[in-house]
Structure 1
Amino acid sequence: MRSTRAASCFRRLSQATLLCVALSLPATASEPDDLPGVTTPTAQTLRKKAPELQRKLMGVLDGLKQTPQLADPRGVSVRSGLVIKSHPELGVTSAEATLLLLPIRKSDRKTEVDKKTGRYHGVGEGNTLEIKVNNLERLKINTAQPDAVFYEPPQVGSHQGLPLYQVGGATPILVLTAKDRQLWRRVTAKEYLERIIREGGPDGEAAKKQLGQLAPGAGDKPACVPTRRGESVGSCQDSDPTYLVKLNTGYFNTKKPDAIQLVTVRLGAASHTRPSESYFKEHPLDPLTQAAKAYDQYDWKQLAALVE
Structure 2
Amino acid sequence: MKTCGHYQAEFAVRPIWHKQFGVIWLDISAQKIITYHPTTEEEHVYDAMGPIEAIVSTEDGQFIGVYKDGLYKISFKMGTKKPFAFPPGLSALHYLNDAKCGPDGYIWVGSSDGFFKKFRETAPTSMSDYPFHNSKLFRISPNGEVQALLENIALSNGLAWKKETNTFYHIDSAKQSIFQYKFTEEAILEFQRIVYTSEMLEGFPGGMTIDAQDNLWIALFKGGLIAQKSNKPTRIICLNPTTMQILEEIHLPVSHVTSCVIGGEGLNKLYITTAKEPLSQGREAKEPLAGYLLEIPISSVGMEQFVVPLC
TM over 0.5: no
Say which structure, 1 or 2, has more relative contact order (CA 8 Å, 6+ apart): 1
Select the structure that is richer in strand: 2
Select the structure that is richer in helix: 1
TM-score normalized by the length of structure 2: 0.21
